[in-house]
Structure 1
């Protein structure tokens, strides 16, 4: 996994775990990799993964069953979407709006490009 400088590594790992849960790789109620296994997979210190797991437990996205390990919460999908949406709107959107304003990109132009992007990357399957 390639890490970026702008965000703490444990938060980038949290994003990775949340994506895997959203994509169905680790469905709600199912076990996720152990701290040691994930640290090995991502080539990071187990303490960093532990910090990630603590963070996600506090958000009630994952839980720990003693002797069994960590699992995705039954309501993980809704909690992940709410968390990611809030973070996007609070942290990332202001930067997007700033760039749109500086480059004089209208909401209409943005809308056209957004629709094209969705059509190309997420086609409706019939």
Structure 2
């Protein structure tokens, strides 16, 4: 069961979930992803909501539907996901983040220090 946030449409949150599964290699490009009905059951949501998500991701070419076989991630899904998520982050999440920094008077120096600490703790082997 997925915990949904109030700030964003459920179908977009499901899109993020699908994108994460693809990026994590759990649903590799070219291999089938769960059917609309199966995913709706897994996430305990209406199949119409999942259908809306699949239509949305198809529109971005991240997934495609093969007649009689089902949905799969596109070969270049990872690049498309990164570009879509980055664009959405920069356009909608970052301005909100900057607004909070400004309102709470958080300096860039403090932000940088905390960011480096976060990276060191969360991803110790990647740098």
CA–CA separation in structure 1 for the residues paired with 2:94 and 2:67: 39
Q: Residue 57 of structure 1: CA displacement? A: 0.1
Q: Residue 84 of structure 1: CA displacement? A: 0.3
Q: Residue 125 of structure 1: CA displacement? A: 6.0
Unaligned runs of 5+ in 2: none
Q: Does 1:93 align with 2:86?
A: no
CA–CA separation in structure 1 for the residues paired with 2:44 and 2:80: 27
Question: How many correspondences in the alignment?
Answer: 126
Residue 23 of structure 2 corresponds to which residue in structure 1? 22
Q: What TM-score do you get using the length of structure 2 for normalisation?
A: 0.96
Moved over 6 A (4+): none
Residue 75 of structure 2 corresponds to which residue in structure 1? 74
CA–CA separation in structure 1 for the residues paired with 2:100 and 2:46: 36
CA–CA separation in structure 2 for the residues paired with 1:56 and 1:114: 31
| Structure 1 residues 25-104: aligned runs within 5 Å | 25-104=26-105
Secondary structure in 2 aligned to 1:33?
coil
CA–CA separation in structure 2 for the residues paired with 1:9 and 1:54: 14
Q: Does 1:110 align with 2:111?
A: yes
- CA gap 1:125/1:106 in 2 versus in 1, 3 angstroms: closer
CA–CA separation in structure 1 for the residues paired with 2:31 and 2:57: 15
Secondary structure in 2 aligned to 1:71?
strand
Q: What TM-score do you get using the length of structure 1 for normalisation?
A: 0.97
CA–CA separation in structure 2 for the residues paired with 1:57 and 1:99: 34
Unaligned runs of 5+ in 1: none
